[in-house]
Amino acid sequence: MMLGHSQANANDQTRKHKARVAFYLHKMAKLLLDRADVHDDSKLEEPEAQGFAEHTHKLAGQTYQGQEYKDALAGELKPTLDHHYAKNRHHPEHFPEGIRDMTFVDLMEMLCDWKAASERHDDGNIRQSIDKNTERFDIPPFLAAILHNTVKEVFEV
């Protein structure tokens, strides 16, 4: 069956559009792959390495965002965390306006970080982490819903 001129033109336009979308998706994927390669590298160097070496194992047995956990973050670990947040844009604390200053790429890395961190806690749960961080970081309800939807699509398959 021969295509008419207008259908052939429409198909050409669709192919061009598809190629552009693929270009941008690959660009986003490359940004995520680059983030994966350098995620938390600052924890492996001073001034962070020693602080995390001393405190990470203690946090694993604590409930995320429980009082003991919050006390640890606000205490001896605070200078280490302040440096870490300043160097790593996947943390809302990195930005003056918190999560509202983040990009989708930042948010994707943040969600993967939260998921991996939840696996380090004895009672960790990514959905509970999202709920607790929704309050902690004043995340709008629609964005919290998107994070939960992403957990279902990415981590629960």
What's the pLDDT score for residue 71? 87
**What tokens were used for 10?**
């429409």
How many angstroms separate the CA atoms of 32 and 106, rounded? 9
Give residue 84's pLDDT. 98
Concatenated DSSP letters for 84-116? HHHH-TTSGGGSTTGGGG--HHHHHHHHHHHHH
pTM: 0.90
Question: In this predicted structure, what is the pLDDT of residue 157?
Answer: 80
The list of the chain residues with pLDDT below 50 reads none
* Number of neighbours of residue 82 by Cβ within 10 angstroms: 13
